[in-house]
Amino acid sequence: MVTSATTPTTVAVATATFDLRAAIASIPDPEVPVITIEDLGILCEVVVDEQARTVNVLITPTYSGCPAMDAIRQHIEHVARRRGYTASVQTRLSPAWTTDLMSATGRDKLREFGIAPPGQRSDQGSDVVRYPVGVSLTIRRVTCPLCGSVDTQEISRFGSTACKALRRCNECREPFDEFKSI
């Protein structure tokens, strides 16, 4: 018989750590509540100390002035406190967040919610159609999250939050938000 070195206590500890980590990871983004902070890619690290009942969480802002950071920090502290832990939330600036960190699940959820997910930055070269003028009047091909048409136009580069642009579909005529690639 193979005896695992794992005692019931360490299993319990591992489960508690796992639960806390999962609870933190599933905190919704305050401005786009359909995706979690993990889907968004802003949750960098969760280190739990079961002995001291503390948790160190490292997050990175999407934009320097993102007003949601304070709300996210408070939410993490609240989730930890409810489970009997004291959270210490640190913000890290470098390496900078990019929309490439957003998970595939996160992208699907955004699309279902009616927000066009960001394109991969690395693909941008092929997505960008340049007018034959020198200055960067560019159009990106963005698919309408409502009808799936690629015939969409940018209304404003700066939308309802720092991370979104406002577009309109020329096919179904509906306006929609686009998560900007950065």
Partner 1 sequence: MSQNAIDTQGTTLAAAYCLQLGDDALIYAQRLGEWISRAPQIEEDMALGNIGLDLLGQARVLLTRAGELDGTGRSEDDLAYLRNEREFHNVHLVEQERGDFGFEMARMLWFAAYQCELYAALISSIDDTIAGVAVKAVKEVDYHRDHASQWVLRLGDGTPASHVRMRESLERVAPYVAELFEDDAVSIAAAEAGLGTLPSSLWDSAFGHVGRVVAQATLTVPANSPWRSRGGRSGIHSRPMGYLLAEMQHIARSYPGATW
Residues near partner 1, by CB under 8 A: 61, 63-67, 92-98, 133-137, 155-162, 166, 180, 182
Residue of 113, 109, 122, 119 whose CA lies nearest to 143: 119
| 36 or 181: CB nearest partner 1 | 181
CB-neighbour burial class of residue 20 (10 A; exposed 0-12, middle 13-18, buried 19+): buried
Please state, as a whole number, how many other Cβ atoms lie within 10 Å of the Cβ of residue 163.
Answer: 24
Point out which residues pair with 145 in neighbouring strands: none
Residue 153 CB, nearest distance to partner 1 (Å)? 13
Q: Give the separation between CA 169 and CA 77, rounded to whole angstroms.
A: 40
**What letter does residue 122 receive in the DSSP assignment?**
G
| 105 or 170: CB nearest partner 1 | 170
Q: What is the 3-state secondary structure (H, E, C) of 72-108?
A: HHHHHHHHHHHCCCEEEEEECCCCCCCHHHCCHHHHH
Residue 159 CB, nearest distance to partner 1 (Å)? 7
* Coil, strand or helix at 145: coil
Residue 131 CB, nearest distance to partner 1 (Å)? 11
Residue 86 CB, nearest distance to partner 1 (Å)? 23
Residue 93 CB, nearest distance to partner 1 (Å)? 3
Residue 45 near residue 58 (C-beta atoms within 8 A): yes
| 152 or 161: CB nearest partner 1 | 161
For 8, the token pair is 């019931």
